[in-house]
C-alpha cells in the first residue's frame, strides 16, 4: 500500500525534507493496531522529548482526510477509512509497467561446463539468474542474459585423451553427459598410477589452443552433444538466453588483455607463471598465464568483462555464480580496477549458497552426482500422482504435472534467501499445502475458476473499466471486512516488492510476496461468498479475485513458474 500521503503529511509536521518519513513507516504487527505505524524513538534525541510525548503531540496535529492517527505509547498508529481509501487502492493494485530507464544490465547466468553434468550450482544459477533477468526487465532495465559456457580449458585435453583411449561414439551420442562423466572419472582414477595421461592431456590442450584440426573437431563434437542435452533442460525450465558466448569465444580477445597488462607493467613472474599482484594481504595474486603459456579462467573473465562493457554496452555487470567463487571475482574485478577500468565498480558477483538434495552433496570428481534431469523427473512423477488423486478428470494432465513438478523445484529454490544453504526435499516441495510453488499455482487456478464461473453467468470482472461513480458507490457500501481489506492492501505492494527484490538481487522477495498473497486470497475466499454474494458486493469480490489471480500470475511468471488455468 502506498503510504506516500501519510509520509508527506508527517514530513510537513516535522519540517523534514520530502520523502523522509515514508520509509520509516512500519506495518503494525497486528492489524488491530491499524494500517501503518510511525515509531518515534529515533526522534527523541533531536526533539529532546520522550517518544511517548512526541507520538501524542503528532497525533493531535495530524490531519488527513480518511486517515485517523492515534498515539499508542511511543508509536503513532494510523487507521485508514476503508471505504474512503479503497477506490484509490483498487486502481493502485491494477498496476502498470515501469517506463524504460535506459540502463543495460548484463547477467551472467547458468554457465555450465561442457562434458560435465549440469550441477545443482548451475541449476541455482539458471533459476536465480533467469528470475533476476525478468525482474530487471519488469523494473524498466534493458537486460541481456548471457550463458558463459565452460567450453574451454585444460579439461578438454583430458576429455580428448580419455575419449581416444576408452571412449565410444555410440555411448557418447546416446547419453553425452553420462559418457563424458565416466570418461572423466576414469581419467582421474587411472592418472593416479599413470602419469603419461596428464602429459598427453596437456599436449592435447596445447594442440587445441593452437588450432589443431583434429583437436578442434573432437572439441566441437563434445560441445554439440553436451549442448543438446543442456538445451533439453533449459526448455523444461522455460529458460532461454539472449547470448550464448562460451569461454572459447574469448580466445582471440585475450591476447590484447595480456598485452595491455604487460604494457602497463602489471604482469609479474611467479614460479614461471605470469600473475598480477593485487597489493592486498587478503587477496592472492591473480594468475594470468600458466607456466606453459596457456591462458586460464581469470584471463578469460577479464576479456569477457571488457567485451560486455565495450560491445554489449553494459552499465551493470552481474555474475550469478556460487559463493565458492567469491575470491575469483574479487580478483578479476581488482585487476580491472588496476587496468584503469573505472566501471569495474559496476561489476557485481551475485553469490548463492549450496543446495543439497535430501542431504546428498555432489562431487563430480568421484562421479557421485545427482543428475538434474532425475530431480526434475522425480518432481513430475510426484506431481502426477497428486493430480491423479485430486483431480483425475483433469484435461492436459501431463502438461499440468510438468508445470507443477518443475514449478515446485524452481519455487522451492527461489523462496529461500539466495545466500543460505538449502537442504532440498523434493517431497516437501511438491505439496499443495505449505510454502510451496504448487500451493501458489493451486491458489491461482482456484481464483481463475471462480472468474470462469462468473463469466459463464455473464458477469465479468471488468477492472479499470467500471465507471468511477459506480465504483465509488459500490466500494462505499461494501463492508470491507478484515480479509478483503488485508488482501487489497497487500495487492498494492507489488511495486515495492519488485523494487526491493531488484535492489537486493533477491527473487525470494517475489516468492514470499506470492505466498503472502496466496494466503490472503485463500483467507478472503474462505470468509466471503463470491459467486453467491449480493449484487454490488459480488462485483467488488470478483474484482479482488481478478486482481489476486493476475498478481499471482505476474509473480509466478517473474520467477519462471507456469500458472495453469486448471489443476
Q: Which stretch binds ligand ARG (CB under 6 A): 20-28, 108-116, 481-489, 535-543?
A: 108-116
- Give helix then strand counts, H and E, for the chain: 22, 13
Q: Which of 22, 108, 402, 543 binds ligand ARG (CB under 6 A)?
A: 108
Cβ closer to ligand ARG: 226 or 304?
304
Q: Which of 7, 51, 129, 150 binds ligand ARG (CB under 6 A)?
A: 150
Pairwise CA distance, residues 365 & 21, whole Å? 55
- Cβ neighbours, 10 Å, residue 495: 15
The answer to the question of residue 543 lying near ligand ARG (CB under 6 A) is no
User: Smallest gap, in angstroms, from Cβ of residue 113 to ligand ARG?
Assistant: 5
Q: Helix 397-414 crosses helix 507-527 at what angle (to 10 degrees)?
A: 120
Residues 315-374 contacting ligand ARG, CB under 6 A: 319, 321
The answer to the question of residue 126 lying near ligand ARG (CB under 6 A) is no
Cβ closer to ligand ARG: 128 or 540?
128
State the number of binding residues for ligand ARG (CB under 6 A).
9
The answer to the question of residue 86 lying near ligand ARG (CB under 6 A) is no
The answer to the question of residue 80 lying near ligand ARG (CB under 6 A) is no
Residue whose C-alpha cell is 548471457: 146
Q: Is 247 exposed, middle or buried (0-12, 13-18, 19+ CB in 10 A)?
A: buried
Pairwise CA distance, residues 216 & 219, whole Å? 5
Q: Which three cell numbers stand for residue 404?
A: 507443477
Each residue 157-196 as x (binds ligand ARG by CB under 6 A) or -, in order, gives ----------------------------------------
Cβ closer to ligand ARG: 208 or 347?
347
Rg (CA), the chain: 29
User: Smallest gap, in angstroms, from Cβ of residue 133 to ligand ARG?
Assistant: 15
552 and 540 in contact (C-beta within 8 Å)?
A: no
Cβ closer to ligand ARG: 355 or 555?
355
The answer to the question of residue 304 lying near ligand ARG (CB under 6 A) is yes
Q: Which stretch binds ligand ARG (CB under 6 A): 107-115, 193-201, 436-444, 552-560?
A: 107-115
Cβ closer to ligand ARG: 111 or 436?
111
141 and 499 in contact (C-beta within 8 Å)?
A: no
Pairwise CA distance, residues 370 & 388, whole Å? 27
Give the angle subtended at the CA of 490 by the CAs of 489 and 492, to the nearest 5°. 70
The answer to the question of residue 309 lying near ligand ARG (CB under 6 A) is no
Q: Which of 77, 111, 226, 384 binds ligand ARG (CB under 6 A)?
A: 111
Instruction: Please name which of 326, 263, 333 lies closest in space to residue 304, comparing C-alpha atoms.
Output: 333
Give the angle subtended at the CA of 141 by the CAs of 137 and 147, to the nearest 5°. 65
Pairwise CA distance, residues 534 & 419, whole Å? 49
Cβ closer to ligand ARG: 174 or 327?
327
Q: SS3 for 566?
A: coil
Q: Which stretch binds ligand ARG (CB under 6 A): 47-55, 106-114, 432-440, 447-455?
A: 106-114
User: Smallest gap, in angstroms, from Cβ of residue 106 to ligand ARG?
Assistant: 10
Pairwise CA distance, residues 285 & 81, whole Å? 63
Q: Which of 67, 77, 92, 113 binds ligand ARG (CB under 6 A)?
A: 113
332 and 344 in contact (C-beta within 8 Å)?
A: no
Residue ranges binding ligand ARG (CB under 6 A): 108, 111, 113, 148, 150, 301, 304, 319, 321
Amino acid at each position: 500500500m502506498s503510504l506516500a500521503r501519510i509520509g508527506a503529511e508527517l514530513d510537513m509536521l516535522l519540517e523534514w525534507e520530502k520523502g523522509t518519513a515514508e520509509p520509516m513507516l512500519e506495518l503494525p504487527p497486528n492489524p488491530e493496531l491499524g494500517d501503518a505505524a510511525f515509531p518515534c524513538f529515533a526522534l527523541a534525541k533531536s526533539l529532546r522529548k520522550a517518544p511517548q510525548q512526541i507520538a501524542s503531540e503528532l497525533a493531535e496535529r495530524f490531519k488527513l482526510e480518511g486517515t485517523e492517527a492515534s498515539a499508542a505509547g511511543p508509536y503513532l498508529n494510523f487507521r485508514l477509512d476503508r471505504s474512503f481509501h479503497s477506490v484509490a487502492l483498487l486502481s493502485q493494485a491494477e498496476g502498470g509497467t515501469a517506463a524504460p530507464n535506459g540502463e543495460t544490465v548484463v547477467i551472467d547466468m547458468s554457465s555450465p561446463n561442457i562434458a560435465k553434468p549440469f550441477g545443482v550450482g548451475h541449476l541455482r544459477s539458471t533459476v536465480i539468474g533467469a528470475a533476476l533477468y525478468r525482474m530487471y526487465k519488469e523494473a524498466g532495465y534493458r537486460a541481456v542474459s548471457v550463458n558463459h559456457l565452460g567450453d574451454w580449458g585444460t579439461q578438454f585435453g583430458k576429455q580428448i585423451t580419455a575419449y581416444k583411449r576408452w571412449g565410444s561414439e555410440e555411448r557418447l551420442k546416446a547419453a553425452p553427459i553420462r559418457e563424458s562423466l565416466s570418461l572423466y572419472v576414469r581419467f582421474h582414477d587411472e592418472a593416479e598410477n599413470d602419469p603419461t595421461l596428464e602429459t598427453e592431456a596437456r599436449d592435447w590442450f596445447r594442440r587445441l589452443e593452437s588450432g589443431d584440426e583434429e583437436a578442434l573437431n573432437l572439441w566441437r563434437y563434445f560441445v554439440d552433444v553436451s549442448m543438446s542435452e543442456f538445451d533439453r533442460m533449459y526448455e523444461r525450465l522455460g529458460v532461454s538466453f539472449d547470448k550464448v558466448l562460451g569461454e572459447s569465444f574469448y580466445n582471440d580477445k585475450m591476447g590484447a588483455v595480456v598485452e595491455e597488462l604487460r604494457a602497463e607493467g602489471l604482469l609479474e613472474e611467479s614460479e614461471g607463471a605470469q600473475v598480477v599482484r593485487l597489493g592486498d594481504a587478503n587477496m592472492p595474486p591473480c594468475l594470468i598465464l600458466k607456466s606453459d603459456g596457456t591462458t586460464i579462467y581469470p584471463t578469460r573473465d577479464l576479456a569477457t568483462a571488457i567485451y560486455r562493457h565495450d560491445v554489449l554496452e553494459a552499465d551493470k555487470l552481474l555474475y550469478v555464480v556460487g559463493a565458492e567463487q567469491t575470491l575469483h571475482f574479487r580478483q578479476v574485478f581488482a585487476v580491472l580496477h588496476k587496468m584503469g577500468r573505472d566501471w569495474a565498480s559496476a561489476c557485481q558477483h551475485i553469490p548463492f549458497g549450496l543446495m543439497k538434495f535430501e542431504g546428498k552433496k555432489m562431487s563430480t570428481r568421484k562421479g557421485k552426482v545427482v543428475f538434474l534431469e532425475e530431480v526434475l523427473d522425480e518432481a513430475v512423477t510426484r506431481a502426477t500422482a497428486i493430480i491423479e488423486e485430486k483431480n483425475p478428470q483433469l484435461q492436459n494432465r501431463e502438461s499440468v504435472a510438468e508445470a507443477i513438478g518443475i514449478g515446485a523445484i524452481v519455487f522451492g529454490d527461489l523462496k529461500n534467501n539466495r545466500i543460505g544453504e538449502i537442504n532440498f526435499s523434493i517431497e516437501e516441495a511438491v505439496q499443495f499445502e505449505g510454502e510451496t510453488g504448487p500451493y501458489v499455482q493451486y491458489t491461482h487456478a482456484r481464483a481463475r475458476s471462480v472468474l470462469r464461473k462468473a463469466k459463464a453467468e455473464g458477469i465479468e470482472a471488468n477492472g479499470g473499466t467500471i465507471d468511477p461513480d459506480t465504483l465509488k458507490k459500490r466500494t462505499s457500501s461494501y463492508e470491507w471486512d478484515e480479509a478483503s481489506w488485508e488482501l487489497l492492501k497487500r495487492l498494492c505492494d507489488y511495486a515495492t516488492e519488485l523494487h526491493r527484490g531488484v535492489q537486493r538481487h533477491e527473487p525470494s522477495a517475489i516468492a514470499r510476496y506470492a505466498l503472502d498473497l496466496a494466503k490472503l486470497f485463500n483467507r478472503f475466499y474462505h470468509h466471503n461468498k463470491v459467486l453467491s454474494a449480493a449484487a454490488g458486493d459480488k462485483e467488488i469480490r470478483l474484482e479482488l479475485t481478478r486482481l489476486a489471480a493476475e498478481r499471482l500470475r505476474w509473480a509466478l511468471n517473474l520467477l519462471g513458474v507456469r500458472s495453469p488455468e486448471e489443476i
